Chains A and B, each alone.
Chain A
Amino acid sequence: GAVVSQHPSWVICKSGTSVKIECRSLDFQATTMFWYRQFPKQSLMLMATSNEGSKATYEQGVEKDKFLINHASLTLSTLTVTSAHPEDSSFYICSAPRYNEQFFGPGTRLTVL
Chain B
Amino acid sequence: GENVEQHPSTLSVQEGDSAVIKCTYSDSASNYFPWYKQELGKRPQLIIDIRSNVGEKKDQRIAVTLNKTAKHFSLHITETQPEDSAVYFCAVSTDSWGKLQFGAGTQVVVTP
* B43:A106 contact, CB within 8 angstroms: yes
* B43:A101 contact, CB within 8 angstroms: no
Number of A residues contacting the other chain (C-beta, 8 Å)? 21
* A45:B97 contact, CB within 8 angstroms: no
* A43:B89 contact, CB within 8 angstroms: yes
* B103:A43 contact, CB within 8 angstroms: yes
- Bound: A102/B41 CA distance, A: 18
- Bound: A35/B96 CA distance, A: 16
* B103:A106 contact, CB within 8 angstroms: no
Residue from A49, A105, A106 within 8 A of B99 (CB atoms): A49
Q: Label chain B's interface by main secondary structure.
A: loop
* 12 A-B pairs whose Cβ atoms sit less than 8 Å apart in the complex: A42-B105, A43-B89, A45-B102, A46-B101, A49-B99, A95-B100, A100-B97, A101-B46, A102-B46, A102-B100, A106-B43, A109-B41
Decide yes or no: A97 and B105 within 8 Å by CB, A44-B89, A104-B44 being known contacts: no
Which chain A residues have a beta carbon within 8 Å of chain B's beta carbons? 32, 34, 42-46, 49, 60, 91, 93, 95, 97, 100-102, 104-107, 109
Decide yes or no: A97 and B97 within 8 Å by CB, A44-B44, A104-B43, A106-B43 being known contacts: yes
* A46:B43 contact, CB within 8 angstroms: no
- Bound: A40/B42 CA distance, A: 12
| Chain A residues, CB < 8 A from B34 | 101-102
* B96:A44 contact, CB within 8 angstroms: no
* A46:B100 contact, CB within 8 angstroms: yes
- Bound: A107/B98 CA distance, A: 19
